[in-house]
Amino acid sequence: MARKGNRKEAEFVFVPLGGVGEIGMNLYLYGYGREGERQWLIVDMGVTFGGEYEPGVDVILPDIRFLEEERHNIAGLLLTHAHEDHFGAVVDLWPLLGGIPVYATPFTAEMLKSKLGEMGLVNGFPLQIVPMGHRQTIGPFDIELVSMSHSIPEPSAVVIRTPVGAALHTGDWKLDENPLTSAPTDAARLQALGEDGVTAMICDSTNAVRDGVSPSEADVAVVLNKLIGEAPRRVAVTTFASNVARIRSVAEATRAAGRELVVVGRAMFRVIEAAQATGYLDPDLAFHQETAFESLPPQKVVALCTGSQGEARAAMARIALDEHPNVTLDPGDRVIFSSRTIPGNEKAVGRVQNGLADMGVEVITDQDAPVHVSGHPRRGELEQLYRWVKPDIAIPMHGEGRHLEAHAKLAERLGIKEVVRARNGAMVRLAPGPAAIIDDVPVGRLYRDGAILTRADDGQVRDRRRLSFAGTVSVSLVLSDKGALLAEPEVALTGLPIADGDGVSFESIVRDAASGTIDSIPRPKRKDQALVSEAVRRSVRAAVNQAWGKKPMCSVLLTVI
């Protein structure tokens, strides 16, 4: 994209590397200075999760090649809250950025330290714990945290002030007078910011397609109390492990029903420990390890489980397959999915719920009862925030295309002077002068594939997708140094049918294609091993395609003796 700015003028810019045009993988940059001399503040560094399109991938992270080039100009990383899509990439990406300082509130810091401990990164990690509502300088930026409501303790919006303008980055938020953990959204501070003047608001768009106002977390607590109290047998509740308010509601409903709480899943333990350490859960909260589940009477147990999104290795999926070592459900037991299904997880969640239903377990979701509320603002809440803050510029973030567009149209209807429709990689000038997309930076995706971090275009995940569609064929050939085929080709097939429609085995089809190709190559040319391997590979794929209608992956192992 052509550069439209003035190289000699210091500018305040915004660059999303993830989270704009998608839900998840949030990573936002704010820059101040002249072109080529800017300093950068990173806000959040999150992940999203692999699905059927990324077989074998654990998590997906934003590609930070731009930041790696700018590592010496990064003032720091500020985390708005401890959801995986906002802080889950720190342990993988921070080591690539030269030891930059990381700023977080106490609960977020506890969650991060738990992750760092698993990776052996705690010692020497430059983590600076800042209180809620804190204000300080980070590089050229004057930073202020503003308390917001969300489905986790200590969510913060961030005011980012520079000599040429100020931006409000909302993070994830909603308006909830009784969020049960952190304080409600600080309406007075937001209104004061609006009176002071806000150049740009970069704002959550997740529920911009929905009218009205999101219900309160306290409403869910009432419903859970009823459903747990009236259940005739065992109850299992699955929710986002990070939702401390929901954990507390389940614990209180369990106690009110005279039952015993069993916690199932390591992620749930990690959050409970962090919440107890920071005062968001009672340090004396009574619960059992999962090994106690079977010893408790069916009418006296509530299991709090990980796996609300159908994750294959989480507790609820294993329970639904009757493969959990410590937790077994029977007909008449009740499972409450106190969560919403994240787009893309529908099939996985459906498999778990269907598995439970096949076992005779009663399954209750947010379609059956109000057992979940979103942590993000609907249109009514967005309108209220715009009335308070009165920004000159609106930039929708944190949403897929339809969410961003609904948010942009709402901002226009509310009379915002400038609405910028940006996507990942766009560099948006916030000040001075009119808002505009002035440049772009490289963006993409990184895959955490086991213990290895690779770029999405490196190829191995693409190869796995192809394997899932058409399998693979391996052919081993042994030639003499004169080019003679010394043995019949050895063939290994994975994922192919045994035989074609006429009953001819695919091993025979592959073997005949390989032998025929060797025979067709003049002996002098058989000394070119690359030529022979490629010719055999092509002929094998063509022969299989003719018999099957699909082209498998094919590898040829050629030995010359």
Answer whether CATH 3.40.50.1010 is correct for domain 471-560: no
Q: What are 399's strand-pairing partners? A: 20, 22
Q: Which two tokens stand for residue 64?
A: 């930070």
Phi, psi dihedrals of residue 461, rounded to the nearest 5°: -70, -40
SS3 readout for 347-393: HHHHHHHHHHHHCCCEEECCCCCCCCCCCCCCHHHHHHHHHHHCCCE
Q: Amino acid identity of 560?
A: V
DSSP for residue 519: H
What tens-digit pLDDT sequence spans the chain (561 residues)? 444 445 579 999 999 999 999 989 999 999 999 999 999 999 999 999 877 778 778 889 999 999 999 999 999 999 999 999 999 999 999 999 999 999 999 999 999 999 999 888 888 899 999 999 999 999 999 999 999 999 999 999 999 999 999 999 999 999 999 999 888 999 999 999 999 999 999 999 999 999 999 999 999 999 999 999 999 999 999 999 999 999 999 999 999 999 999 999 999 999 999 999 999 999 989 899 999 999 999 999 999 999 999 998 899 999 999 999 999 999 999 999 999 998 778 999 999 999 999 999 999 999 999 999 999 999 999 999 999 999 999 999 999 999 999 999 999 999 999 999 999 999 999 999 999 999 999 999 998 888 888 888 777 888 888 888 899 999 999 999 989 999 999 999 999 999 999 999 999 999 999 999 999 999 999 999 999 999 999 999 999 999 999 999 999 999 998
pLDDT at 4: 47
pLDDT at 451: 80
pLDDT at 463: 83
pLDDT at 7: 57
At which residue do the structure tokens 């990070």 appear?
Answer: 242
CA angle in degrees (0–180, nearest 5) for 172-177-179: 60
Q: HSE (CB half, 13 Å, CA atoms) of 108?
A: 31
Select from 447, 467, 450 the least CA-distant residue to 458: 447
Instruction: List all residues 6 or more positions away from 538 whose beta carbon is below 8 Å from its beta carbon.
Output: none
Can you tell me the distance from the alpha carbon of 151 to that of 154, in angstroms, rounded to the nearest whole number?
A: 9
Q: How far is Cα of residue 366 from the mean position of the Cα atoms in its chain?
A: 22
At which residue do the structure tokens 């942590």 appear?
Answer: 375
Other CB atoms within 10 A of residue 178 CB: 12
What's domain 217-364's architecture? Answer: 3-Layer(aba) Sandwich (3.40)
CA angle in degrees (0–180, nearest 5) for 448-454-459: 115
Give the domain ranges of the chain. 11-212+374-457, 217-364, 471-560
Choose which CATH entry (1.25.40.10, 3.40.50.150, 3.40.50.300, 3.60.15.10) describes domain 11-212+374-457: 3.60.15.10
Signed CA dihedral, 219, 221, 227, 229: sign only? negative
Q: Which long-range contacts (CB under 8 A, 24 or more apart) does 432-438 make?
A: 432/9, 432/11, 432/12, 432/164, 432/165, 435/200, 435/392, 435/393, 436/4, 437/1, 438/3, 438/4, 438/5, 438/11, 438/13
Q: Which two tokens stand for residue 353?
A: 């719920």
